[in-house]
Amino acid sequence: EKGTYAHFMLKEIDEQPFVIRNIIQKYQHEDGSTRLDEDIRAAMKDSDRIYIVAAGTSYHAGLVGKQLLERVSGKPTEVHIASEFLYNMPLLSEKPLFVFISQSGETADSRGVLVNVKKQGHRTLTITNVPGSTLSREADYTLHTFAGPEIAVASTKAYTAQIAVLALLAVDVANAAGKTLDFDLLQELAIAANAMESLCNQKDEMEQIARDYLSVTRNAFFIGRTADYFVALEGALKLKEISYIQAEGFAGGELKHGTIALIEDGTPVIALATQEHVNLSIRGNVQEVASRGAATAIISMEGLDQEGDAVVLPRVHELLTPLVSVIPTQLIAYYAALHRGCDVDKPRNLAKSVTVE
């Protein structure tokens, strides 16, 4: 039910802080620890490499998950687009563990890989929002994202829920390996949930950006570096999916290798700047496009912000910024689609679950 909301997408964007808090509760044990299932822990520990396989927005969550798994737990992790993996399988390590990320748990491209790697005798884990789904039933293990039903075709709360669960998984793997971490993930997730909530209360700002930058344009770019690059990809996918604006996400440093040729007077470029170690570089990239006429808007984070930034996010742990920085991009896509008269919840040519290969 949409309740008072005009669209499911907006309702689902707003639900995100509660989804994160729900995940914290669901995975927290009475003693305050976050141990996941013993079998999953053992399978992760026993593997020498994680292969994340997913499509679309879930693939983008996987990119963030790789960074979390490698940085927090030290476990080598690769991320693959399901439909590519099926026909172009990389050389596998000796003890691979496959992690399928899928909101619906029904994506045929991912299932194709699952069936294939199971045949080869590899172990499989599905992270899904629908525990009884095909991918969940057919994998050895399941982690539930507890986001509640996602109705809008454009995935929002499933993405942030997947990242939160991947973060928990990363910490669990680190704990199992006896690593001591210098942060408390549950606390950091709770801080991120609060930040998400405050952004959901700043909708006017995002509506204004959509109005100013995206009302009439044919194309738009999202740029970022490291974790911000992954969110740039997701922001661009969301925008094209529901507003039909041709949008691309780029790694800031890669622009000069070709794409910058597309920048004209007034081309919208939305930049994400939440990562301290690349803050100067991404701002340099913004300068490069601005001096070629781009209409630039910077989404930064407290402590790294500069005068003139369009949105300043509350400060959160650097590994969890995607949970927060994605929200302005979701809202900008929503309002852009709305202003352009598009069917927000049911964009053309798309289905909620893609059950064909």
Q: Dihedral (C-alpha) 250, 255, 259, 261: value to the nearest 10 degrees?
A: 150
| Window 88-127: contact mask with ligand M6R (x via CB under 6 A) | --------------xxx--x--x-----------------
Residue of 72, 59, 67 whose CA lies nearest to 102: 59
The CA distance from 116 to 341, in Å, is 42
Distance CA 166, CA 294 (A): 36
Q: Name the residue among 353, 354, 336, 355 with its Cα closest to residue 344.
A: 336
Check binding of 150 to ligand M6R (CB under 6 A): no
Question: Which residues lie below 8 Å from residue 283, measured CB to CB, with a gap of 6+?
Answer: 271, 273, 298, 306
Of these, 8, 34, 53, 56, which contacts ligand M6R (CB under 6 A)? 56
In the list 58, 136, 267, 296, the residue contacting ligand M6R (rule: CB under 6 A) is 58
- Based on the shown chain and the rule CB under 6 A, indicate whether residue 67 belongs to the binding site for ligand M6R: no
Q: Which is nearer to ligand M6R, 85 or 279 (CB)?
A: 85
Contact segment (CB under 6 A) with ligand M6R among 33-41, 49-57, 298-306, 332-340 equals 49-57
From 11-19, 84-92, 138-146, 148-156, span contacting ligand M6R (CB under 6 A): 148-156
Q: Is 63 in the site for ligand M6R (CB under 6 A)?
A: no
220-279 residues in contact with ligand M6R (CB under 6 A) are: 237, 241
Cα(188)–Cα(318) distance, integer angstroms: 10
Residues touching ligand M6R, count (CB under 6 A):
16
CB-nearer residue toward ligand M6R: 190 or 342: 342
User: Hey, how many other C-beta atoms are within 10 angstroms of the C-beta on 305?
Assistant: 18
Place of tokens 């909708």: 203
Cβ proximity to ligand M6R, 174 vs 237, nearer residue: 237
Angle at 180 between CA 43 and CA 36, to 5 degrees: 35
Pick the closest to residue 329 from 240, 198, 215, 218 (CA basis): 240
Question: 34 or 330, CB closer to ligand M6R?
Answer: 330
Q: Are the C-beta atoms of 286 and 274 separated by less than 8 Å?
A: no
Q: Which is nearer to ligand M6R, 108 or 260 (CB)?
A: 108
* Smallest distance, ligand M6R to C-beta of residue 154, A: 4
**Minimum distance of ligand M6R from residue 301's CB (angstroms):** 24
Considering the complex, state which of residue 203 and residue 346 has its C-beta at the smaller distance from ligand M6R: 346
- How far apart are the C-alpha atoms of 220 and 240, rounded to whole Å? 9
153 binds ligand M6R (CB under 6 A): yes
Cα–Cα distances in angstroms (integers) from residue 163 to residues 74, 118, 301, in the given order: 17, 25, 19
Number of other CB atoms surrounding residue 149 within 10 Å: 10
Smaller CB separation from ligand M6R, 110 or 136: 110
Segments in the chain forming alpha helices (H): 8-14, 16-27, 38-46, 56-68, 82-85, 108-119, 134-138, 157-176, 185-200, 203-214, 227-243, 279-290, 321-339
Nearer to ligand M6R, 56 or 224 (CB): 56
Choice from 57, 126, 160, 330 touching ligand M6R (CB under 6 A): 57
- Residue from 79, 125, 286, 354 touching ligand M6R (CB under 6 A): that is 354
**One of 63, 154, 167, 338 touching ligand M6R (CB under 6 A):** 154
> Cβ closer to ligand M6R: 72 or 239?
239
Contact residues for ligand M6R, defined by CB under 6 A: 55-58, 102-104, 107, 110, 153-155, 237, 241, 353-354
